[in-house]
Amino acid sequence: DMAQWKRILLIGLTMGLLWNNRFETPLFMLPFAYYIFFFDKDRVTGKLPSFTNRVVAVGALAIIVILSITPWLVRNAGIYGKPLLSTEGGYHFRRGHHEGATGSGRDLWPANQGTYIERPPAGAIKDKERTPERETVKAAWHKEQAIAWIKANPQRELELIGIKIFYFLVTDFTHPYARSMVVWPVSLLGLMLGSYYWVRTGLREPIQQVLWMFFAIQLALCVVFLVLPRYRIAVESVPLLFFAAWLANGKLGEWFGRQVSVPEISSEASDH
């Protein structure tokens, strides 16, 4: 099916470009691979390709995405001595796991300021100023500190997990705009009714499954790191899309359809 290979090429190139900006992109490839392997039927036969062809299709998708990120990996290998995707992972991981962590990037309202994070002591980066290695050492130090804090504070870690889930599903109440009554109630309503519509109509519908997988993956990432409004915005369209579907096809949509339906014109009237 040539159309399938065109889709794979387009998905691979698009997600490859995204990977150069968002380094969690490989996780977002999983829903695509899931759909291609289990549900992407041949447009001519209406059947799934053979097992071998599906493995090849998913493999080709992975290769295209990896090739798209290769120039960045080569660049980093030349600078840091190894093909790193990023040197910021340790820092962002620690932002979500430390003594003053709030679940977001800000202190609790109404402070409206970024949460302070202890910097590596001078001894940790001694003799590495103005060298590429300084970035990797800092990242490793932040990661070690975060893991140590999690082990030492399991109860607070569980609390933060709950807070992050709440901030993601409802809104980040530490942010002056996200906490606005104009913003989050509408978003929450969309999530609730969109989820209701999905449970009622789409649990076994592959395309709906794929879209909610994106939403779940972003939620999991925020639990591991931290919640920022822009991370939620990246998948805000998922619940709002199904909220719109509920408006169109649910009881409200049926009622509205009855109100605006146009009476049928008889053949005799149409002759005049």
**pLDDT category, 263, cuts 50, 70, 90?**
low
pTM of the model: 0.87
User: Distances in Å between the alpha carbon of 267 and those of 150, 262, 263?
Assistant: 76, 15, 13
User: What single DSSP character describes residue 114?
Assistant: B
**pLDDT category, 22, cuts 50, 70, 90?**
confident
* Residue 171 CB contacts under 8 Å (≥ 6 apart), including other chains: 178, 179, 183, 184, 187, 188, 229, 232
Asked whether the predicted pLDDT for residue 156 surpasses 60, the reply is yes
Cis peptide before 110 (omega within 30 of 0): yes
Mean pLDDT of 237-254: 85
Task: Check residue 192 and give its pLDDT.
Answer: 94
How many other C-beta atoms are found inside a 10 Å radius of the C-beta of residue 165? 16
The model's pLDDT over 141-150, given as tens digits with 9 standing for 90+, comes to: 999 999 999 9
Mean pLDDT of 204-219: 93
Give residue for tokens 């109100």: 259
How many other C-beta atoms are found inside a 10 Å radius of the C-beta of residue 211? 21
Q: Which residue has the higher pLDDT, 210 or 258?
A: 210
Alpha-carbon 71 to chain mean position = 24
Distance, in Å, from the CA atom of 239 to the CA atom of 194, rounded to the nearest integer, reads: 5
Task: Check residue 137 and give its pLDDT.
Answer: 86
- For the chain, give the percent of residues with pLDDT over 70: 92
Asked whether the predicted pLDDT for residue 272 surpasses 50, the reply is no
Instruction: Find the DSSP H helices in 128-266.
Output: 133-152, 154-169, 184-201, 206-224, 229-233, 237-249, 251-260
Task: Check residue 142 and give its pLDDT.
Answer: 94
Q: Which of 166, 183, 170 is nearest to 223 (CA)?
A: 166
CB 197 within 8 A of CB 211: no
Distance, in Å, from the CA atom of 253 to the CA atom of 111, rounded to the nearest integer, reads: 43
Half-sphere exposure of 38 (CA within 13 A, CB side): 12
Task: Check residue 136 and give its pLDDT.
Answer: 87
Distance, in Å, from the CA atom of 216 to the CA atom of 17, rounded to the nearest integer, reads: 22
Give residue for tokens 């093909």: 83
**Mean pLDDT lowest among 31-40, 50-59, 128-137, 194-203:** 128-137
Task: Check residue 127 and give its pLDDT.
Answer: 58
**pLDDT category, 125, cuts 50, 70, 90?**
low
